[in-house]
Each structure stands twice: as C-alpha cells, then as structure tokens.
Amino acid sequence: MSTTPVITVDGPGGVGKGTVCRIVAQRLGWHMLDSGALYRLVALAAQRHGLRWDNEPALVPLAGHLDVQFSSDISGNEARVLLEGEDVTDAIRTEECGAGASQVAVLPGVRAALLDRQHAFRELPGLVADGRDMGTVVFADAPLKIFLTADAEERARRRFKQLKEKGIGVNFAALLEEIAARDARDSQRNAAALKPATDAVIVDTSTLSIEQVVEQVLTLCRERLMVRC
Ligand code: C5P
C-alpha cells in the first residue's frame, strides 16, 4: 500500500469539485486527478471509433489502452488533455460527452480497466483526487475523504453559468433534466455507485462560495494531515 497522501473529493456533477480540487492541489503543491476526464475520454474515443457506449466487450480494451496525456497538473491551470495526440480539452467538456461518460461508467469492465491508470497518479508529495468513487473504491485507504453535495437546481445554475462563460449556449430546463438523469444513473448503478464513503466528511455547498469550500477543505487538511497550507 502506498504511503503517499491522497485527499479524495467525491460528489455529484456540477457541485464544483473540479474547481475546488484544482485550487486545493495548487495551494498544497500536490498533483491532481480528474477521474471524470478519463470516463469522458473513453466516451469520446468510443464515438470516434464508431463504438456504442454500451458495447462493453469493445470498450474494455479501448479504456485499457487509451492513448492519453495530461499536459500539466501542478501549475494550477486546467490541464490540457490529449487523446491520440490531439487536444480534446474542450471536446470532452460538452454535455453530450458527459452523458456518454456516465453511460460508459456504468460498465464494471470499463471501471476496472481504468483503475491502474488512476492509481498511477498517486505520486509524492500527494494527490487530490476528484470523482465519484475516489474514497469508496479507487483510494479507499485515503487519510482524508470529502464528499461535496448541493441541491440539483443549484448545481444546474452553476453549470449554466460555467457553460455561458465559455460561450456555450444551453437551455436551463434541459440542463436540470440532464443533471437529474445523470444523478440517477450515477447513484443507482451497481458498479461503484455514487455515495459517500462511511468515513467521508460531508460538505453541503449549496450556500457556500468556492472560496468557503476551499477553506473548509484546507482546514481539514491542516487538522487531519498535519500539512502546512
Ligand atoms: O465529473 P464529470 O462530470 O467529468 O464525470 C463525468 C461522468 O463520469 C459522471 O457523470 C460519472 O458518470 C462518471 N464518473 C464516474 N466515476 C468517477 C468520475 C466520473 O463514474 N470517478
């Protein structure tokens, strides 16, 4: 078992995990794993290879041999993501790719095929791991586990704002419906369903700013991991 520290941050889509993890990783000078990006990459690669998102026998080897590079992880900037040498940073962020990701993520074989790749991110001085099953499955031995929540409407509002800032126009009602559908798929699936680890600290972010959530996480880091930040 690795002694390299890991902070797991799990929770539903649109809760702000990505932003919180990036800032926390930057403040600590630690690496970051965006595990959702891996599922999004499998969905995108499947689409490009003409494979359906439920074709488990074909998706398992695809996930296992995914040719992916994350260009930077410790600078604090959003890492560029390369798939088969091509920059797909924006392509994996579409709502369609998110929906595909949550479909391929239902398949136990795909989840298993991505495990080693996720474990490889655990490098010194430490890792902040963002996902759905970081604390329950992938890094079940993590010394600090956090589960972020917020009600679906608030998450839809945040996602709406985020997409608008990127110039991507979406319909709010459709976005809310998609978030609810994704929540249902993520929490009802048999493999690594979305739920807090029994030893996770649950933080409801509905009325908190990103800075307030970051501060709570950093306070837990100081108390539980004895790190200076
Ligand atoms: O976090 P993000 O929205 O990028 O994740 C996309 C989808 O990938 C999620 O809706 C979820 O179905 C899946 N996922 C997962 N396990 C993870 C991370 C993401 O099942 N650790």
The structural domains of the chain, with segments of one domain joined by +, span 6-221
pLDDT (tens digit per residue) in 178-220 = 889 888 888 887 887 889 999 999 999 999 999 999 999 999 9
Top mutation candidate among 8, 19, 21, 35 for ligand 1, by most atoms within 8 Å of CB:
35
The pLDDT, as a whole number, for residue 159 is 87
Beta pairing partners, 83: 68, 86
Residue ID of nearest Cα to ligand 1 atom 14? 36
Tokens in use for 160? 């709406």
Please check the confidence at residue 90 and state whether its pLDDT lies above 70.
yes
User: Percent of the chain at pLDDT above 70?
Assistant: 97
Instruction: Quote the pTM value.
Output: 0.92
* Span from the CA of 115 to the centroid of ligand 1 (angstroms): 14
The protein residue with its alpha carbon nearest to ligand 1, atom 5, reads 36
> What is the predicted pLDDT for the residue at 209?
93
Please report the atom of ligand 1 found closest to the CA of residue 10: 21
d(CA 175, CA 49): 27
| The predicted structure's pLDDT at residue 112 | 97
Pocket around ligand 1 at a 6 A CB cut-off = 13, 35-36, 39-40, 98, 101-102, 105, 131-133, 182, 186
Average pLDDT for residues 89-98, to the nearest whole number? 91
Residue closest by Cα to atom 9 of ligand 1? 102
Confidence class for position 20, pLDDT limits 50, 70, 90: very high
- Quote the ligand 1 centre to 228 CA distance (angstroms): 30
Confidence at 41, pLDDT banded by 50, 70, 90 = very high
Class of domain 6-221: alpha beta
Q: Quick one: pLDDT band at residue 66, thresholds 50, 70, 90?
A: very high
